[in-house]
Structure 1
Amino acid sequence: MHTQLFGPVKQWGFVVRDIDAAMQCWVEQLGVGPWWGYRNVPLKSRFEGVDADIVIDVALSYQNGVQIELIQQKNDAISPYRAFYDTPHAQMLHQVAYMVPDLDAAVAQGKAAGLAERGMLSNAYSRYYYLDSPALAGLVVELMQADPAFVADYERCAAEAAVWDGSNPYRLLG
């Protein structure tokens, strides 16, 4: 039996040009919501060996227990997301993400399996690593630390989304 390297997929992440329009589409046309998130999130980025400060808006919803993430980068600094803005797409599937119990060990496992470290984002609370392979054709693998508070918040929001009645669809904090 083949073992999954990082466990089940926990998130599909999309980079978007307009996070409000993207959330509205997901709510009104696809029935996905509610959306939690934050505006003007400062992050440290290391991408292709270059360090930069980036600012993003991020919105999170859930479908059948899997998180859907929308990301809009607010500045022009180099980052794992920046190349998207040079394309004509309104939104693009950027990443598939996994929660891992030991982030550094998972990065090492990914490298041993042939994935290359492409970048890393961090803030005061977390680090997020991005790995890729030419075979993934632009899709990256995001690894997130599965600390208890992060997992509890994920599970709480996924449970609420499973019974969402359509009210109060946008819950982004400024």
Structure 2
Amino acid sequence: MHTQLFGPVRQWGFVVRDLDAAMKCWVEQLGVGPWWGYRNVPLTSRFRGMETEVLLDVGLSYQNGVQIELIQQRNDAVSPYWAFYDTPHAQMLHQVAYMVPDLDAALLKAKAAGLSENGMLSNAHSRYYYLESPALAGLVVELMQADPAFLAEYERCAAEAARWDGNDPYRLVG
């Protein structure tokens, strides 16, 4: 029997030019919501050997238990997202993400499967690795640590989104 390398896809991540406009689009045109918004999220970025401080606005929603992440970079630091801003698009699929119980072991599996690291974001609590392969044609694979608190919040929000009645579509968290 075939087993998935990292388990199920838990997130689809999109880079956007305007977080508020993108969330509005997803609510009004696709019926996806509610959105939890985080403003001015500082992260350390390591991208293709360069380390910078990146500032992000992030929107999170859920569809059928899968997280949809909208990412707007607020500064001009080199990061895994920056190439998007050289395109004419308002939003674009950037990554599929997996939550793994052992990040270091998953990185070894990824390397053995032919994926290579192109970047990493981190803060005091978390690390997010971005992997690439020429065969993926620009689509990035994100690996994130699945700790119990993170998973509990993920499941709580996914359940709330499944019950969403269309009211209160935007919830600014930070």
d(CA) in 2 for partners of 1:168 and 1:81?
A: 29
Does 1:49 find its partner at 2:44? no
Q: How many percent identity over aligned positions? A: 83
How far residue 141 of structure 1 moved from its aligned partner, in angstroms, is 0.2
Does 1:59 find its partner at 2:29? no
Does 1:105 find its partner at 2:105? yes
d(CA) in 2 for partners of 1:106 and 1:9?
A: 14
Match of 1:32 in 2: 32
Match of 1:79 in 2: 79
d(CA) in 2 for partners of 1:30 and 1:92?
A: 15
TM-score, scaled to structure 2: 0.99
How far residue 77 of structure 1 moved from its aligned partner, in angstroms, is 0.4
How far residue 46 of structure 1 moved from its aligned partner, in angstroms, is 0.2
Could you tell me which runs of 5 or more consecutive residues in structure 1 were left unpaired when the two chains were aligned.
none
SS of match in other structure, 1:110: helix
How far residue 173 of structure 1 moved from its aligned partner, in angstroms, is 2.6
CA RMSD of aligned residues (A): 0.6
Output the amino acid matched with 1:118: N
TM-score, scaled to structure 1: 0.99
- CA shift digits 1:29-63 (9 cap, x unpaired): 11100001310000000000000000000000000
* Runs of 4 or more above 6 Å deviation: none
SS of match in other structure, 1:152: helix
Output the amino acid matched with 2:16: V
d(CA) in 1 for partners of 2:173 and 2:158?
A: 18
Could you tell me which runs of 5 or more consecutive residues in structure 2 were left unpaired when the two chains were aligned.
none
How far residue 124 of structure 1 moved from its aligned partner, in angstroms, is 1.2
Output the amino acid matched with 2:53: D
Aligned length: 174
